Amino acid sequence: MTRSNSHSPSFEPTHLVFAGLGGLVLLFIIAPLASMVLNSPIADLTDTAADTEVLNSILLTLWTALTATLLISLGAIPLAWLLARKQFPMKRLVSAIIDLPVVIPHSAAGIAVLGFIAPNSVIGGAAEHVGIRFVGGAAGIITAMAFVSVPFLINAARDGFAAVPERLEKAALSLGASPTRVFFTISLPLAWRSILSGVVMMWARGMSEFGAVAIVAYHPIVTSVLIYERFGAYGLKYARPVAVVFLGVCLLFFVVVRLLSRGKK
């Protein structure tokens, strides 16, 4: 009697077609990046990595994107839990509003944010009085990054909370645990992988933003704006090494985050 092996590889024609099409998509992603790296001489990369302007822009990009992610997560994670667990009026409208920054043009997002935090607005004027400068300042960069990237965190966290068995939360509540304790001891720990994925995606999206940031705060200059500026002023030869160095820094940080997340149980 022959026992079938469910784990044996399948070579059905449909699967081969799917694999071929998927391989083309992967090639479409990898080829431009590989070309960019391979066409950047080591000497140019070394000089760029030692360039003070480049280093300062990378550091600014990293900490502003991280700050935007951490600040917005204080409200985004609880909102994600509400979307996953509660029914309330106009819930679908709230979900649609959350996705708006993804679908509107980034230049339009920058104009919207600029009007909200301009010195002559209520928020911008109040901030100016306490010494916080949005337009042309780090606070403006953080605001623009948060606006365009927050949907990634909310949607990932919502999916994570939705995957947590609701019976565990109800059992804890029936045993006398408060809703706050249930959230921090059951819901949050069980959904943390999805939340971390959302945090990483929001951070990455913030670091890559150009349009909204350039409108709100062209200076101090973040790396995406610096790449554009050097391309416009000097051409591809001077812009490409900056892009490669920034790509390397981003990959390094994301690999570290992924390794740390795998190490936790």
- Give the CATH number, domain containing residue 157: 1.10.3720.10
Q: Against a cut of 0.85, is the pTM above it?
A: yes
pLDDT for res 1? 46
For residue 263, what pLDDT is reported? 57
User: Is residue 181 situated within a structural domain?
Assistant: yes
Q: Has residue 10 got a pLDDT over 60?
A: no
Asked, for residue 26, whether it belongs to a domain, the answer is no
CA gap 236, 227 in Å, rounded: 9
DSSP 8-state symbol, 175: T
Q: What is the pLDDT of residue 68?
A: 97
Does the residue 40 lie in any domain?
A: no
Confirm whether 29 is domain-assigned: no
Domain residues for the domain of 217 are 52-221
Is 194 inside a domain boundary? Answer: yes
The token duo for 251 is 């990959």
Residue 242 burial (10 A CB sphere; 0-12, 13-18, 19+): buried
Q: Is residue 143 part of a domain?
A: yes
The reply to whether 157 falls in a domain is yes
pLDDT tens, residue by residue, 96-127: 999 999 999 999 999 999 999 998 888 888 98
Of the listed ranges 5-19, 46-60, 128-142, 147-161, the least confidently predicted one is: 5-19
Check if the beta carbon of residue 76 is closer than 8 Å to that of residue 153: yes
**Lowest-confidence region among 4-8, 143-147, 186-190, 192-196:** 4-8
Peptide bond into 151 cis (omega under 30): no
Number of structural domains (the chain) is 1
For residue 230, being part of any structural domain is answered with no
The half-sphere exposure of 32 on its side-chain side, counting CA atoms within 13 A, is 8
Which of 80, 68, 215, 82 shows the shortest CA–CA distance to 147?
68
Could you tell me the end-to-end alpha-carbon distance of the chain, in angstroms, rounded to an integer? 42
Which one has a higher pLDDT value, 265 or 65? 65
Give residue-wise pLDDT tens across range 120-148: 888 888 988 888 889 989 999 999 999 99
Q: Which helix (H) or strand (E) holds 113?
A: helix 106-117
CA dist 34 and 71 (Å) reads 35
Residue 119 corresponds to which tokens in the numbers above?
């010195």
